[in-house]
Structure 1
């Protein structure tokens, strides 16, 4: 990362929804150049996702069922693509690469068993999970 990339990362940490045009203006680059730099930071793994920060008046994001999902990826699933998918899923709080029979452990919080079922289906249909094992947190 060069000093321009460091400035980009600093701006995105506090203003993740800034337009490429505004970002470019603030750092002295064209819209296309700013966009290309952000994409390169994403591709290289420096930026792995974006999150919304909820106000204290929002519903408690921790309310609901907390579960741990062991995930084994299909042989053709790219780990970077899987992590990018996990970073866009609201229910996924953590994704940890592990040793053993599974590739990742996800810590998730969902409002209901129905939402957990839908998340498990999306893991297999959209994220490249070949097999999952789910454990519910009791306390």
Structure 2
């Protein structure tokens, strides 16, 4: 994957309905060359699909934060109660029950650090969380590693 592929991915992440001709115009390729690039990205598993995003499912704007929050639950909080409490929190996109010193690993997307602070306070006040440890993703990988 090169810089042109990354540019194409950025365009499609902003507007998955962007035409091949518009993609080509933005990256300096012909319509056919842009279409071939998109098809190769699909074939290689870089683009896994396209979807309709509505209301609360909308992705954060560029420049937002993707964070990983290790969560330790209060001894009186059971897992079912915790999962039910975080279910309506739109910023949390994944929650995994873990082994080790923390009970859950949450993945969240937030527009800024103020929203992160608000989320952490909400987890501790309303969701039975006694301790958190937060890591901020600095960037997404630029290429897939592994078998291809």
Gaps of 5+ in 2: 1-51, 140-148
Give a deviation string over 1:42-63, Cα, whole Å, max 9, x none: xxxxxxxxxxx734x9995143
Q: Which runs of 4+ in 1 moved over 2 A?
A: 57-60
1:131 positional shift: 0.3
Q: TM-score, normalised by structure 2?
A: 0.54
* In 2: Cα distance, 1:58 partner to 1:126 partner: 20
DSSP 3-state at the match of 2:75: coil
In structure 2, the CA distance between the partners of 1:136 and 1:79, relative to structure 1 (3 Å rule), is: same
The structure with the larger Rg is 2
Q: TM-score, normalised by structure 1?
A: 0.57
* Counterpart position of 1:100: 100
Q: Does residue 124 of the first structure (1) align with residue 137 of the second (2)?
A: no
More displaced stretch, 82-91 vs 113-122: 82-91
* Counterpart position of 2:142: none
What is the root-mean-square deviation in Å for CA atoms of aligned residues?
A: 2.0
Q: Does residue 136 of the first structure (1) align with residue 127 of the second (2)?
A: no
* In 2: Cα distance, 1:77 partner to 1:108 partner: 21
* In 2: Cα distance, 1:87 partner to 1:59 partner: 13
In structure 2, the CA distance between the partners of 1:58 and 1:99, relative to structure 1 (3 Å rule), is: closer
The answer to whether the 8 Å contact 2:57/2:90 transfers is: no
* In 2: Cα distance, 1:71 partner to 1:58 partner: 24
